[in-house]
Amino acid sequence: MDRRRLLQLAVLLCLLVLCSGREIKTKHTPIYNSTLARTLAEYTSAVYSADLTQLFTWTCERCGDLTEGFEVIELIVDVKNCLQAYVGFASDMNAAIVVFRGTQQTSIQNWIEDLFWKQLDLDYPGMPQAKVHSGFYSAYHNTTLRNGVVNGIQKAREAYGNIPIMVTGHSMGGAMASFCALDLLVNYRLKDVTLMTFGQPRIGNAAFASYFKCYLPNAIRVTNEHDIVPHLPPYYHYFPQKTYHHFPHEVWIHDVGLGNLVYPTEQICDDSGEDPNCCRSVSGNSVQDHIQYLGISMHAESHGTCRIVTADTILQHKMDNDGNIVLSKKPASETHHATTSTWDCLLDSPRTNFSPAFYLSSQMLFIFMTIKAHSQDQSRGMDARDRPIAVDSGDAICMDERSYEEVVMATRKERKREALLFT
């Protein structure tokens, strides 16, 4: 063996010793669990499935291996804004899992270009000097996702007790997951909330990052090699208080070694959120590194934009006037009942089973009130479509070949038909 080969081998052995089991740990950092990271990465990969039936029943191609036996409780699709999330129970971890989908692959290039110009244009409520980007904030707080996620967590805790909550997401889904975890702690006053994201962008300024660290001191942001998204929106270290700033802690996945002797490592970074020795030490110029984490695909199965497929055998189906969908079911086990005093003032009561006669009469009353409200709106010059109306139906809808606009039009036609029957 020549001297060069021996030198490469010696360097590799030194690196392996320093890595200490694939993790480089620094003082005062949280414990990073590689197996947990891979498990949450598999959950995050699954949320990109376009087939809602397979995702809801956990039979999709990506629904297996470390996530086998997972039980989906709530699946939320904001069709208008092309957002998707789900909540479920993982029996092996005895935890509720909340997962947010990232940007679809067909629009990722435009989305990345937009990230260069995102402004800190919103004061985060209740946190002086903390600023965030309104688009990231609104994607979670001002869409169908927030209520659906909170409802799913409530169901999981009513069935399985005060189980811990693990929130995760990739890319834009990581940004929404971060706001969700903070929301659960600050506004819903829940405890035992864990956050781990993959390839998420910066979402706020340094003041916001400091607040975030106080509430979620053990949050983990996994970054990968030269992934471009964690570098955006840009951070300028000369103006740390006036620019975007990551919250800690970053775990940077990258290769170490020489030539063919390369070994992947997961480096735990410092408490600053902007460790210059982690992903900031390299150029962020790779989209490919963004859509592959821990060897797991983080992108949609097809190149269709927001295409949704589902069968007509789903337990419950809800669609509002904008075509947004919530698929939900009762947890498999409801033998344990958590104390829900925190939730009582924040959420509606759990769904109750009524007799067919009561259900029919309530539906007739609902239609009557809808017609009455429509008449009042007409007198005020308001289009009734401006008010979102929730619709419960026992039948699911197959959206295999229908576009979003076709689904919304079909929903409105059905409402008009029902209204005519009772006029």
pLDDT for 278-316, tens place per residue? 999 999 999 999 999 999 999 887 655 555 555 544 444
- Exactly one of 226, 290, 299, 317 is catalytic; which is it? 290
Would the pLDDT of 17 be above 50? no
Would the pLDDT of 54 be above 80? yes
Bridge partners, 72 (sequence order):
88
Tell me the two tokens of residue 100.
């947010």
Whether 290 is a known active-site residue: answer yes
Residue among 303, 343, 305, 247 nearest 84 (CA):
305
81 vs 367, more confident? 81
Which helix (H) or strand (E) is 326 found in, with range? Answer: strand 325-328
State if pTM tops 0.85: no
**Is 250 found in the same domain as 160?**
yes
**Is 264 found in the same domain as 121?**
yes
Q: CB under 8 Å to 99, separation ≥6 — which residues?
A: 43, 44, 46, 47, 85, 86, 87, 167, 168, 169, 173, 177
**Is 18 found in the same domain as 109?**
yes
Give the single-character DSSP code of 243: S
Helices then strands, counting H and E runs in the chain, come out as 11, 16
Domain final residue, candidates 297, 322, 339 = 297
pLDDT digits (tens, 9 = 90+) for 358-399: 334 433 433 344 344 344 444 444 333 332 222 222 333 333
CA–CA dist 325, 75 (Å, integer): 8
- Exactly one of 78, 227, 275, 322 is catalytic; which is it? 227
pLDDT band with cut points at 50, 70 and 90 for residue 16: very low
Quickly list DSSP for 138-191.
Answer: HHHHTSHHHHHHHHHHHHHHHHH-S--EEEEEETHHHHHHHHHHHHHHHTS---
189 vs 410, more confident? 189
For residue 29, tell me if it sits in a domain.
yes
Residue among 271, 213, 215, 210 nearest 241 (CA):
210
Q: What is the CATH number of the domain that holds 20?
A: 3.40.50.1820
Domain final residue, candidates 297, 314, 340 = 297
| Whole-number pLDDT of residue 7 | 55
**Is 378 found in the same domain as 254?**
no
For residue 78, tell me if it sits in a domain.
yes
For residue 7, tell me if it sits in a domain.
yes
For residue 399, tell me if it sits in a domain.
yes
Using a pLDDT cut of 90, give the percent of the chain over it: 52
Amino acid letter for position 349:
S
pLDDT digits (tens, 9 = 90+) for 215-234: 999 999 999 999 999 999 99
For residue 208, tell me if it sits in a domain.
yes
CA–CA dist 382, 417 (Å, integer): 20
The mean pLDDT of the chain is 76
Would the pLDDT of 400 be above 50? no
Would the pLDDT of 99 be above 90? yes
**Is 396 found in the same domain as 273?**
no
Which helix (H) or strand (E) is 69 found in, with range? Answer: none
For residue 307, tell me if it sits in a domain.
no
| Whole-number pLDDT of residue 109 | 76
**Is 20 found in the same domain as 112?**
yes
- Tell me how many domains the chain contains: 2
Domain final residue, candidates 297, 314, 335 = 297
Tell me the two tokens of residue 54.
């397979």
Burial class from Cβ neighbours inside 10 Å (0-12, 13-18, 19+) for residue 123 reads middle
CB-CB neighbours of 18 under 10 Å: 10
For residue 192, tell me if it sits in a domain.
yes
162 vs 259, more confident? 162
| Inter-axis angle of helices 144-160 and 172-186, nearest 10 | 60
For range 190-206, the mean pLDDT: 97
| Whole-number pLDDT of residue 6 | 55
Tell me the two tokens of residue 87.
């909540």
**Is 400 found in the same domain as 268?**
no
**Is 290 found in the same domain as 180?**
yes
Q: Please state which of the ranges 24-28, 47-51, 224-228, 391-395 shows the lowest mean pLDDT.
A: 391-395
**Is 263 found in the same domain as 371?**
no
Would the pLDDT of 167 be above 80? yes
Give the single-character DSSP code of 246: P
State in Å, rounded, how far the first CA of the chain is from the last one: 92
Whether 227 is a known active-site residue: answer yes
**Is 143 found in the same domain as 22?**
yes
Whether 328 is a known active-site residue: answer no
**Is 359 found in the same domain as 293?**
no
- Exactly one of 171, 178, 272, 328 is catalytic; which is it? 171
Asked if residues 44 and 200 have their Cβ atoms less than 8 Å apart, the reply is no
Q: Domain range spanning residue 221?
A: 3-297
CA–CA dist 358, 352 (Å, integer): 12
112 vs 180, more confident? 180
For residue 195, tell me if it sits in a domain.
yes
CA 135 to chain centre: 15
